[in-house]
Amino acid sequence: MPRPVALCVVGVGAVGRELLKVLRQRKFPIKQLTVLARSARTLTLDGETIPVQAVSEEAFAGQAIVLFAGTEGEKGAAVTYAPAAIRAGAICIDNGADFRMDPKVPLVVPEINPEAIGRHQGLIANPNCSTIQMVMALHPLRQKGKIRRVTVATYQAASGAGAQAVEELKTQTQALLEGKTPPPPRVMPQPLGFNVVPQIGSFGEQGYTTEEWKLVRETRKILSDDTLQIVPTVVRVPVLNGHSEAVTVEMDRPITPAQAAALWKKMPGLEVAEGNDRYPMPTGADGRDPVYIGRVRQAPDDPKTLTFWVVADNLRKGAALNAVQIAEALLKS
């Protein structure tokens, strides 16, 4: 068992709360826990009261590891406070998007590229939630051959946009069920209740959104393959928690569903649902660690192409769990 360390969590939103849960569930060796947020308060989590301090540079003194919960689409706290934490001697793991494509910052999924952790300069980036579950499914297939092209459509839950987005979805859905006009959206770009929204993030290059470009660029960085072609479409769906993805992979050689399943079963963190009627769904992934794969089938006219369905709890493996696994790897090294 590694020696306990002083650990700090910055942020108490949806990801911050999940970080605290995962740390406790995995019995992470903590000598002293510090929780920071914009303002001091107390947090009640699973019946436990946790003191929260107002974030300041002085609060990082003596910390060994700092986990920044991050907020997708915004400048996270790591932009402001990671330099101070690093100067104080801490190693920072950031769940936000600000440093992921920085060539000096490792972008890590421990089951795939743990060797990248050793190249850190005080800061390690946690990938985007939709990227993590997709690369977990892609990585084992590379044992069979080179992946030439990935076409992916994501079906992302409201929790990926934070706790306020979840509440907004609940409010809209309740109003619609009661035959009322729901209040206009404040967190989402469009109403999500009984709706699907093909936009996450802002529109940018070639008409793709920032979330879609994350799938492209982060996947290439994690897999160390700048030649990989990725065509993404990301969609927000009226699901509270749990992201789903329909993934089509074109290989450089034939691959059967049975061969793919055999590779997936060997990789920690993956579970394969076999049989046409045993497909994974967000409700089954909620609160669970694995990435689930199902609906695996070969393209009718191309033995080199596979299509499959990938589901995961975006707050766990897509965020908190992956960050804690990075911290665990740091302790082991």
The answer for residues whose C-beta is within 8 angstroms of residue 300's C-beta and 6 or more apart is none
Cβ-contact 244, 130 below 8 angstroms: no
262 and 148 co-located in one domain? yes
The single-letter DSSP state of residue 186 is S
The stretches in the chain having pLDDT less than 50 are 73
CATH number (domain holding residue 110):
3.40.50.720
101 and 184 co-located in one domain? no
User: Is 180 exposed, middle or buried, given 0-12, 13-18 or 19+ CB atoms closer than 10 A?
Assistant: exposed
243 belongs to the catalytic site: yes
Q: Is 128 strand, coil or helix?
A: coil
- Tokens 């509440």 correspond to 167
- Tokens 């934070």 correspond to 162
pLDDT in tens, 86-116: 999 999 999 999 999 999 999 999 999 999 9
92 belongs to the catalytic site: no
The answer for residues whose C-beta is within 8 angstroms of residue 269's C-beta and 6 or more apart is 111, 136, 289, 290, 291, 317
DSSP-assigned states of every residue in 51-106:
EEEEP-GGGGTT-SEEEE---TTS--HHHHHHHHHHHTT-EEEE-SSTTTT-TTS-
The catalytic residue among 8, 92, 120, 129 is 129
pLDDT at 331: 94
54 and 120 co-located in one domain? yes
pLDDT in tens, 213-247: 999 999 999 999 999 999 999 999 999 999 999 99
31 and 82 co-located in one domain? yes
72 and 178 co-located in one domain? no
165 and 310 co-located in one domain? yes
The single-letter DSSP state of residue 224 is T
278 and 300 co-located in one domain? yes
Q: Tell me the residue length of the chain.
A: 333
Find the DSSP H helices in 120-246: 129-141, 163-177, 210-223
27 and 97 co-located in one domain? yes
The single-letter DSSP state of residue 1 is -
Looking at the 3D structure of the chain, how many domains does it have?
Answer: 2
Query: Which tokens belong to 197?
Result: 């929204």
67 and 139 co-located in one domain? no
Q: How far apart are CA 155 and CA 308, in angstroms?
A: 14
Q: How far apart are CA 225 and CA 141, in angstroms?
A: 14
Q: How far apart are CA 68 and CA 99, in angstroms?
A: 12
123 and 266 co-located in one domain? no
CATH number (domain holding residue 165):
3.30.360.10
146 and 184 co-located in one domain? yes
- Tokens 């809209």 correspond to 172
29 and 79 co-located in one domain? yes
Q: How far apart are CA 263 and CA 194, in angstroms?
A: 37
The catalytic residue among 92, 120, 139, 243 is 243
Rg (CA), the chain: 20
Domain with 291, as residue range(s), is 131-314
Q: How far apart are CA 117 and CA 221, in angstroms?
A: 13
